[in-house]
Amino acid sequence: MKIGDRLKLTRLKKEMTQEEVAEGIISVSYLLKIENNQVTPSEEVLHLLYQRLEIDNLFNERMNELMKQMMLWYKAITDKNEWKAVEMYENIKKMIEYFNDAEANTYFLLMEMRYYLFMKNISAAEAYRKALAMVEESLQLLRQHSDYTSSEYYFHFTAYQYLLSNNVSERDFEMFMKNEVLPYFQKHKKYEDVAQYAEYLADYYERCRKYKLASKYYKMSYEFLKKLFIYRREYVEKSDC
């Protein structure tokens, strides 16, 4: 969540006016620009605003640490490290409850779906049912918006609904993944998601003994993981310059 969004959300939660927050620190017009993410305040101003709104001054650093931990958790899942995945899940869940941040909560929910799919292959039937209930609840919330089918989360949650449910047509799953999910994430250059969903589709074809198609989508998954690796390496190299 951006600084301006966090300040505005906290101010509204505390039912404070912009005048009350800005008084003695900055002008109301400048606070408005900060809340709209049009300007970035100095560290001194930000510290004073955080004090007035009683916001943890180390929030951004702790949020970065949370995101780092979630990526390590995701790696444990993809590496099929059951012990580490379970241990990290419990720790990250506590961190999420502490932050209560909408963006972090949504990202955690998506990661949690992948975690439950991983655990399904072990024994966690109860967790599996819980995950499906969470997905269906999320889809219900999305459907309250008229343009929900254009949302990234629609594709995520619908895909997980197919993956988690035993009462859906496998043919429908195949068509949805091939014709909607993969093209959407390819178009938006979400390489990690393309790789993940291509692997799920490849797994489906392997179960159906359609080995040629399975090979095709395993290869797609690998190619997009390579793209992701190259992209991240280039990003790090640019950051170091």
According to the model, what pLDDT value does residue 82 have? 83
Q: How far apart are CA 123 and CA 128, in angstroms?
A: 9
Q: pLDDT tens, 71-118?
A: 888 888 877 788 888 888 888 888 887 766 666 777 787 777 778 777
According to the model, what pLDDT value does residue 30 have? 94
Q: Which fold has domain 59-240?
A: 1.25.40
CATH of domain 3-53: 1.10.260.40
**Torsion (CA) 19, 57, 72, 122 in degrees, nearest 10:** -70
Q: Per-domain residue ranges for the chain?
A: 3-53, 59-240
According to the model, what pLDDT value does residue 101 have? 65
State which residues of the chain have pLDDT below 50: 122
According to the model, what pLDDT value does residue 134 have? 77
pTM above 0.85, yes or no: no
According to the model, what pLDDT value does residue 36 have? 85
